[in-house]
Amino acid sequence: MLKSITGWTITSIIFIAFIFLMIEVSAEVNEVKSLSDVINEHVNLEEIVLSNNSLIYDRNGDVISEVFRDENRVYLPYEEIPTIVIDAFIATEDQRFFEHKGYDAIGIGRAILANARHDSIEEGGSTLTQQLVRNLFLTHDQTYNRKMSELLYAYELEKNYTKEEIIELYINTVYFSNGVYGIEAASQFYFNKPSERLTVAEAAFLSAVPNNPSHYDPIRNSEQTKLRQHWVLQKMLEASYVTQEQYEEALDESVDLNISPKTDLHPDYVTYIHQEFTELVADNEGFNQKLAQASSEEARQEIERSLNERVQQLFKEGIHIETALDPFLQNLAIKSIHRQVPNSDVQASAVVLDHHSNEIVAITGGKEYQKFDFHRGYQNPRQPGSAIKPLLVYAPYIEEFDVPIQSTINADNVCYKVSGEDYCPKNYGGAQYGMVPLTTALKNSYNTPAVRILDRVGIETAFSYLDPFSFSHVNENDYNLSSALGGFSHGMTPLELTNAYTSFANDGTFHPAHGIRRVTDKDGNVLYAWEEEESRVWSKETNDKMRKLLSEVVKSGTARRAQVSAPYSGGKTGTTNNYHDLWFVGMTDQYTTGVWVGKDKRGSIAHLNDKGPHLQIWREIMR
């Protein structure tokens, strides 16, 4: 035993002398190159930035998603860190914290003697500042080189930061096991409450973990954690941070975990918000302009890589994304889809927009949707069938020729020469109806009148009315008469088509709908927000006529099963060839909602057509 103590003592004397020697030598060589300069060549001690959890909120201000990867951290400024937590760490890790300059020769000596006396590691010699630089800049390897670097870095850190700033950084960087960093995240994860509400017993319990996060893991080794907690409380009592009464009460208190896993609700909506946030950053920081000017595919990929890196960096900074999500409508849409489309091989998506605020209040990605999977709401362009007729055919026709809705159009068969070949569209079942009013033609979704109208308006003129909607998959290959019936090469996504229909709810003006209201930093300063955009698509007079036509579709046309008790309801159905897709997009006085039903790998769903799942889903969401 005497030999062990003697060895430890000699080692400590040599080690302490070496520390002082290094500090003195560094002062002597300032004229050549300062210690600060040498260290700053390797690390930046002047600007320390920690990752912080980002949060996504619904319209009610409730958190729906915590965004972090490897480090679950909720950063707390010094003034918000509970005093009892600071006291616990100082009492157990560095009692002379407010006196030393980054290293503590007395503390090192005391630790060596204590460890020699017990012939085991009972106390650590590292100060809080040393532990901080180890967590930030160094490895945890037990080598002399690493220990010397730790001492020198700590000395320099103390010259750049106040004690309060150092303890703030320390308590936000320490690891509490299970991917949790910092006291606030630890309190929320293990006890499901903010750290300001921790009891003395709970604060001591959590403060026990960082000493050896695996050994004192509160979930797997809670008994070991409690033993360490008792030691922490004893040290706090000895340092007069707690009274004898507080100490005894803390020992008697039962510490019960209330694990709160990562908040990750509404995966369909949150996945979309991640995509929209990327678009918002690209729009605000010039990435879109760079992409438009990219000279090659390689250049474009490099710009996209830079954009994604920028987005990930912002998420690490603890941003808050406020959205328009209506949890009730989101859940209702998902439940309705499951109820109306039970078939395992058939998918569906619904989009609900508040056309007064131009916000996306609900969007679904498909049945049994998992976060970041393929999203059928905004990533799945499909042919729209007859749902395109109001936008491409009837509204442009009324706008161009100012015809009354009582005017008639020929609903008999017709043929056109297209690229030297006959194009002869037919009505459903091959029926011919003669001259019919526009109201009848649209509400019953007759095909030949739509093709005749598109031909009369002119294909290029009609397609110009789609320009404000920015359909991302529509191109010049779609400029043909069959587009009057939804015959597009790719089509449009449910979100795109539903957003286009909001023009009928806004007197003929189009406003791009967004899910994000604003993005702020953790202090509430606005970083990003969409600028209000408005495009006049057609006149209010045309729009009033279209609303009447669309209301007839619901009252007595192909969408009768979508009727709801609302001051106004109107819309249009769409069915593609061979029943690959079923659509209904319509509006009430407050919402515009689109529903798509189909298979991922295109195939017939004729067996569902008579049940009208697209109409039933829409009705259940809107009633």
pLDDT value at 95 more than 60 = yes
Q: In which element (H, E) is residue 618 found?
A: helix 613-622
- Residue 70 has what pLDDT? 86
Query: Does residue 282 sit within a domain?
Result: no
- Are residues 229 and 351 located together in one domain of the fold? no
Q: What is the CATH number of the domain that holds 230?
A: 1.10.3810.10
Classify residue 356: in a domain, yes or no: yes
Task: Determine contact, residues 568/549, Cβ cutoff 8 Å.
Answer: no
Q: 47 and 170, same structural domain? A: yes
Confidence grade of residue 25 (pLDDT, cut at 50, 70, 90): very low
What is the total count of domains within the chain?
A: 2
Do 39 and 155 fall within a single domain? yes
Whether residue 284 is contained in a domain is answered as: no
Confidence of residue 28 (pLDDT cuts 50, 70, 90): very low
Cβ-Cβ contacts under 8 Å for 195 (sequence gap 6 or more)? 76, 81, 82, 85, 183, 184, 186, 187, 188, 203
Using CA atoms, how far apart are residues 100 and 122, in angstroms rounded to an integer?
21
Give domain status of residue 480, yes or no: yes
For the chain, the distance separating the N- and C-terminal CA atoms, rounded to the nearest angstrom, is 83
Average per-residue pLDDT for the chain: 91
In this structure, is the dihedral angle defined by the CA atoms of residues 474, 476, 482 and 484, taken in order, positive or negative?
positive
Kindly indicate the confidence band of residue 217, based on its pLDDT and cuts at 50, 70 and 90. Answer: very high
Based on the fold, state whether residues 225 and 355 are members of the same structural domain.
no
pLDDT in tens, 251-268: 999 999 999 999 999 999
Residues 246 and 351 in one domain: no
Confidence of residue 35 (pLDDT cuts 50, 70, 90): very low
The whole-number average pLDDT for the span 594-613 is 97
CATH value at residue 394 = 3.40.710.10
Query: Residue 14 falls within a domain, yes or no?
Result: yes
Maximum alpha-carbon separation in the chain: 114
Using alpha carbons, select from 421, 423, 502, 495 the residue that is nearest to residue 455.
423
| Domain end among 252, 270, 285 | 252
Half-sphere exposure of 465 (CA within 13 A, CB side): 28
| Domain with 374 in it | 347-622
Each residue's pLDDT tens digit, 452-481: 999 999 999 999 999 999 999 999 999 999
Identify the CA nearest to 393 among candidates 456, 443, 470: 456
- pLDDT score of 314: 97
Looking at 190, 218, 252, which one is the last position of a domain? 252
Q: Give the chain's radius of gyration (CA, Å).
A: 34
Q: Considering the domain boundaries, does residue 370 fall inside one?
A: yes
β-bridge mates for residue 574, sequence order = 583
Give the span between the Cα atoms of 349 and 358, in whole angstroms.
19
pLDDT score, position 621: 98
Examine the fold and report which residue of 222, 252, 282 is the final residue of a domain before the chain moves on.
252
Residue 339 falls within a domain, yes or no? no
Does the pTM exceed 0.95?
no
509 neighbors 535 (Cβ within 8 angstroms): yes
pLDDT tens readout for residues 66-87: 999 889 999 999 999 999 999 9
Return the pLDDT at 535.
Answer: 97
pLDDT at residue 611 above 60? yes
Hey, how many other C-beta atoms are within 10 angstroms of the C-beta on 419?
6
Q: Would 266 be classed as within a structural domain?
A: no
Report the alpha-carbon distance of residue 391 to residue 572 in Å, rounded.
10
Q: What gap in Å lies between CA 456 and CA 464, rounded to an integer?
A: 14
What is the predicted pLDDT for the residue at 370?
97
Q: Which amino acid is at 419?
A: S
Percent of the chain at pLDDT above 90?
81
Residues in a beta bridge with 57:
63, 322
User: What residues are labeled active site?
Assistant: 93, 386
Nearest to 576 by CA among 447, 452, 485, 466: 485
Q: Report the 10 Å Cβ neighbour count for 476.
A: 9
Q: Give CA–CA dist 522/57, Å, rounded.
A: 13
Question: What pLDDT, in 10s, does the model give residues 561-583?
Answer: 999 999 999 999 999 999 999 99
